[in-house]
Amino acid sequence: MRFASLLILAPLASACKKIEPAPKQLDALLHWFFAEYDTAEDEQAAEAFRNLDAVIVGSDLDEHSDGSITDLSREEVGDLGPSGESPARAAGIFMVNPIQCSLREMGELVTARNQVELYGTYDELERSWDSDVEAFRNGNADRATWSDDFTVTILGSTYTATTNGAGRWVPDLGKEDSPFGRALMTRRVMPEIAEFESGDNSYDQDFRAEVYYSRKPGVTIHVAAMWREVNVGGFDQDNESSQRLVLNGMKDWDEDSEKACGGR
């Protein structure tokens, strides 16, 4: 499996590219996209996308960039995630990456049911749509929600987990407010601790915020933030090799998305 092979290479990968903290403005925006996903007005979200692009263009970030971000606070998480767990134990990472897919295609991939076929991550996954996802894909609904029940095997250890996902279109508010047109926000949360079949491995928390916008036709800028508390085979998310492993996997995910777009 991709995860296992990357784990072998992770120490080498981390030595080649050190994981650096995100620029402060980017860190703050990634926290904002997670915490304000539900409550932000469209105008506020459009402003956040403008600020995000300014940070990406105005910083030293490469075309493909990644690094670490600060912990989520209890206030930012609220009642999301497993009860009684401290979000400060979930280490944060981010990635900025251009994908050779249109924004419409990314909206379809994010909500697709056939995640096992699209991405080499899951043993099994069952996706339940909690709203009219077809209307969301067609642009006739601004929001959609879904839940995933899935099984994954890592280093010979199998776990099952559930995530609750949500997508939100930020509409095109005109050239001044929305210079890149409409944009997409998503958020995913693991509401309960994952269950391993055996062993001392643990996967207690997972919070994610991802945003997508297009600066030119056929190319989507993907910005992803993940906060995760996990320990598998003695590697926890505070370990730089583990972080590099996950970041490499996130990049692979985008490459799988490009393959799917190329075949559509």
Asked if the model's pLDDT at residue 9 lies above 60, the reply is no
Are residues 93 and 229 in contact, defined by beta-carbon separation less than 8 angstroms? no
pLDDT for the residue numbered 237 = 76
Asked if the model's pLDDT at residue 2 lies above 50, the reply is no
Q: Name the residue with higher pLDDT: 112 or 121.
A: 112
% of the chain with per-residue pLDDT over 90? 73
pLDDT for the residue numbered 166 = 97
Mean pLDDT, range 154-175, rounded to an integer: 94
CA-based torsion, 38, 42, 44, 45: positive or negative: positive
Whole-model pTM? 0.91
Q: How confident is residue 105, by pLDDT bands cut at 50, 70 and 90?
A: very high
Helix (H) or strand (E) holding 27: helix 24-35
Rounded CA separation 214/102 (Å): 7
Q: How many helices (H) and strands (E) does the chain have?
A: 8, 10
pLDDT for the residue numbered 173 = 98
pLDDT for the residue numbered 6 = 40
Asked if the model's pLDDT at residue 27 lies above 50, the reply is yes
Asked if the model's pLDDT at residue 10 lies above 70, the reply is no
For residue 51, which amino acid is it? Answer: N
- Tell me the backbone φ, ψ of residue 21, rounded to 5 degrees: -65, 150
Mean pLDDT, range 108-132, rounded to an integer: 92
Least confident of 57-61, 105-109, 133-137, 194-198: 57-61
% of the chain with per-residue pLDDT over 70? 91
Tell me the Cα Rg of the chain.
18
Count how many domains the chain has: 1
Looking from the CA of 121 toward its CB, the CA atoms found within 13 Å total 18
CATH of the domain at 117: 3.30.530.20
The rounded mean pLDDT for the chain is 89
pLDDT for the residue numbered 7 = 37
Reported as a single tens digit per residue, the pLDDT across 213-253 is 999 899 999 999 999 999 887 777 777 888 888 899 899 99
Asked if the model's pLDDT at residue 13 lies above 60, the reply is no
Asked if the model's pLDDT at residue 3 lies above 60, the reply is no
Residue with tokens 């080499």: 120
Reported as a single tens digit per residue, the pLDDT across 43-78 is 999 999 999 999 998 776 666 899 999 999 999 999
Asked if the model's pLDDT at residue 103 lies above 90, the reply is yes
Give the domain range for residue 66.
2-262
Asked if the model's pLDDT at residue 94 lies above 90, the reply is yes
Mean pLDDT, range 165-185, rounded to an integer: 97
Conformation bin of residue 233: beta by default, left when phi > 0, alpha when psi is -120 to 50: left
